[in-house]
Amino acid sequence: MASAPENEKNASAPEKKTLTLKSMINNEEFVVDEHVALQSVTIKNMVDSDCAGDVIPVPTISGEILALVIEYCKNHANPSASEDDLKKADAGIVAKDIYTLIDLVLAANFLDIKGLLEVTSQKIADSIKDLPHQDVREIFGVENDYTPEEEAAVRAEHDWAFEGFP
Amino acid sequence: MDTILCDELLQEIFHRLPLSSSSAVSAVSKRWLRVHRSSKTVLSLRLSPHNCTPPSLSTFLSHFPFLSSLSLTSPAVPDGDTAAFSDRLLLSAASSCPSLRHLRLSTGPISLFPLLSLSTSCPHLTSLSISLSRPLSLYWLALFHSLKDLFVVFTGEFVSDQFDSCFQQADAELKLETLGLTGIRQGDFGFAWLWRSCKKLKKLQLRSCEGIGDDASPSSFVNCLKGVEEVELRTCRTIVDEILLKLAENCTSLMSLLVYDGGSREGLRQFISRSRCDLQKLDLRLPLDLENNHLLAVAESFRGLSSLRLQSCCLVTGEGLRTIGLAMSYRLEELALINCDVVEREPGLLTTLGQCLRRLRKLDLSYNEMLVDKEFVSMIASCNYLSELKLRGCKGLTNAAMVLISKSCKNLESVDIMYCGGIKAEAVELFVMNCPRLRRVQVEESKISDVARSRASSKFIEVVV
């Protein structure tokens, strides 16, 4: 851990390429080291195929969410971070309300960042696992298309059909 | 509109939900139900004629396109025709789940026709668990080309028209690696072919068997033992000695042997002294005749032994166990002395074992009800590498023992202290707070204080009650 600042110094010695990510929702811009941004497979594909200009526009993702994504990428681009450190940092990033988490999982999916998608999905699962289905409907804006009979049948199913292989 | 998350993202989340959330998630909407079902690969159904008929089973299963493991049980058997009910269930399952890899049917015995149908509709089946009724036939196995694990329970009465042994089927090349058979009786036929056709067997489990098939010659049975690495014999009293002798003479690959309830003094002695295998694990329960001599021979013959489990061995004394301890001092990683009164009878024995067995990782002293702190603590003080400790039902242990465990065993990851009346909630709390690597603790719910519970959840410690 003591060597972390030194590493950073060494890494910054050669000239570093940066990319600018711009949220198209509120026009916020973020200047990011290229190797940090390249953890997004979507951005990597754009850079590899020379489709990326100086500023990469990111549609449908707000600046607030983009900041979280970049924080995640920075943490995971740091070679001297231990597994425990990363776990703690990830937990901090996803310690958000459910609506932010839904935006974040959409962003992770759009930018194709597998690790972020996984931790966010896990956090969403943890947040909704004990909720009644009416609350889940409300959070995700789902309309109930069951008749009361159908809903009762689906719920009864769980008395005799369950996951697992005893 | 329910389009915030696409199906793939919903699946990502569903995969991470615990089973208890299934019901709520399915009740959200029809789309969520569909996505939830298609996220499932493993399913168990508890069927009764009230909730399921074979045609409705077919329809139901067609909603699970990615099912790879299916288990069907029926607690209440419909009146009369149980065999026909199971057969029709199997036919429905087979036709609806073509990508099935693991199938377990505990709904009653199956007849030949649905098995033939299963072999064509589920060609990738690798594991099958069923029951068959007499008269027995096993030739259908040759049709299952991917099958690696087979478990069969034999049921039913003998019929006068037993299997026609003149009808000799040519040997097959079965790929079976694990074979578990329950309930072979004297007078059963049809096994010679099975033994001859199993040339790749790695694991053999026999339970409540009185024989190995009346048509099976010793040489045919020996054929399947040649490459076997693991053998488990449970309540097979009449055939244990015979099988042990065959193993000793013909099997050099054996690594793990388990014998529960059986094995005579002479049979065990012959196996231990004559076997040429490099046994790693030995697990014996209720070997009534197991004596010190056997343990001395084990120490001599099986120099590579890393796990020794003894349950309810009443003739063994401290002398035998001390010899094992000295001979195995740098190899043994797992020791179980479950309900062995020698542990309580001989003061100082555990101390010696602890001092000898420096590499011990797993220790199980369950159900030694009279075991007291002083004896136990003097052993545990030397077991610094212990990662797993089971003390279930040790009623004589108290809070003091828990304090010493947390001081001596800094590498402990899993502990079972269920039914230990002398260990109270305050000691459990102290223990959970002071065990840095603890991952799992089994204890009564009433002994988990709020402090212990919140520590457990913040440190990802699984509490099993």
Whether B3 has a pLDDT exceeding 70, the answer reads no
Is residue A131, in this structure, part of any structural domain at all? no
Share of chain B above pLDDT 70, in %: 94
Residue B52: pLDDT band (50, 70, 90) is: low
Close Cβ partners of A13 (under 8 Å, ≥ 6 residues apart) = none
Let me know if residue B421 belongs to a domain.
yes
Domain harbouring B461, CATH code: 3.80.10.10
Among A141, A143, A151, the residue with its CB nearest the CB of B4 is A141
**Across residues B425-453, what is the average pLDDT?**
92
Residues 36-65 (A) with a CB less than 8 A from some CB of B: none
pLDDT band at B152 (very low <50, low <70, confident <90, very high): very high
Among B23, B29, B45, beta carbon nearest to A142: B29
Specify the number of domains making up chain A.
Answer: 1
CA A142, A145, A147, A152 dihedral sign is negative
Q: Mean per-residue pLDDT for B353-372?
A: 94
Best of B12, B33, B47, B60 to substitute, by most chain A Cβ atoms within 10 angstroms, is: B12
Q: Give me the pLDDT at residue B80, please.
A: 56
pLDDT band of residue B51 (cuts 50, 70, 90) is low
Nearest by CB to A155, which of B19, B23, B31? B23
Answer yes or no: is B183 within a domain: no
* pLDDT for the residue A13: 47
Q: Quick check: is A141 in a domain?
A: no
DSSP H or E segment with residue B128:
strand B127-133
Residue B224 has pLDDT above 80, yes or no: yes
Three-state SS for A100-111 is HHHHHHHHHHHH
Is A1 in CB contact (< 8 Å) with chain B? Answer: no
Per-residue pLDDT tens, chain A, 166 aa: give them.
444 444 444 444 456 788 999 999 889 999 999 999 999 999 999 888 877 677 888 888 999 999 999 999 999 999 888 888 899 999 999 999 999 999 999 999 999 999 999 999 999 999 998 899 999 999 999 999 999 999 888 888 777 777 666 6
Query: Is B297 inside any structural domain?
Result: no
Q: Is residue B13 part of a domain?
A: yes
Question: Residue B227: CB partners within 8 Å, gap ≥ 6?
Answer: B199, B200, B201, B202, B253
The percent of residues above 90 in pLDDT, for chain B, comes to: 58
Question: B343 falls in which pLDDT band (50, 70, 90)?
Answer: confident
Cβ pairs bridging A and B (under 8 Å): 116
Q: Which residues of A touch B22 (CB under 8 A)?
A: 158, 162-163
What residue in A sits closest to B19 (Cα-Cα)?
Answer: A163
Phi, psi of B123 (to 5 degrees): -70, -15
CB distance B51–A160 less than 8 Å?
A: yes
Both tokens of residue B98?
Answer: 């073509």
pLDDT for res A5: 47
Residue-range definition of the domain harbouring residue A104: 13-121
pLDDT score, position A50: 78
Q: What pLDDT is attached to residue B82?
A: 62
A121 closest CB neighbour out of B12, B25, B104:
B12
- Interface confidence: ipTM more than 0.90: no
Higher per-residue confidence, B60 vs B441: B441
Query: In this complex, do A154 and B27 lie within 8 Å of one another by their Cβ atoms?
Result: yes
How many C-beta atoms lie closer than 10 Å to residue A50's C-beta? 7
**Assigned domain for B66 exists:** no
C-beta atoms of B26 and A106 within 8 A? no
- Residues B270-295 have a mean pLDDT of 90
Cis amide linkage into residue A132, ω under 30° from 0: no
Average pLDDT over residues B377-394: 94
* pLDDT at A11 (0 to 100): 47
Structural domain that includes position B448? 361-376+383-465
Looking at the domain assignment, is residue B229 inside a domain? no
Mean pLDDT over all residues of chain B?
89
Nearest chain B Cα distance for residue A163, angstroms = 5
Q: Cβ contacts (< 8 Å) between A124 and chain B: which residues?
A: 13, 16
Residue A133 lies in a domain: no
A121, B27: Cβ pair inside 8 Å? no
Which residues in chain B touch residue A111, judged by CB atoms under 8 angstroms apart? none
Is A140 a member of any domain?
no
Residue A89 to chain B, least CA–CA distance (Å): 15
Query: Average pLDDT for residues B139-164, to the nearest whole number?
Result: 83
Chain A contacts of B48, Cβ < 8 Å?
Answer: 160
Q: What confidence score (pLDDT) does residue A155 get?
A: 82
* The dihedral formed by the CA atoms of B267, B268, B272 and B274, expressed in degrees to the nearest 10: 0
Give the pLDDT score at B103. 96
Residue B315 lies in a domain: no
What CATH number corresponds to the domain at position A74? 3.30.710.10
User: Structural domain tally of chain B?
Assistant: 2
Q: Tell me the mean pLDDT in the region B9-27.
A: 88
Q: How far apart are CA A85 and CA A15, in angstroms?
A: 28
B438 domain-assigned = yes
Q: Residue A149: inside a domain, yes or no?
A: no
Distance CA A16, CA A9 (A): 12
Interface of A with B in 63-102 (CB under 8 A): 102
Q: For B49, name the nearest residue in chain A, comparing CA atoms only.
A: A160
Contact A136 B25 (CB under 8 A): yes
Interface test with B, best of A110, A111, A121, A131 (most B CBs within 10 A): A121
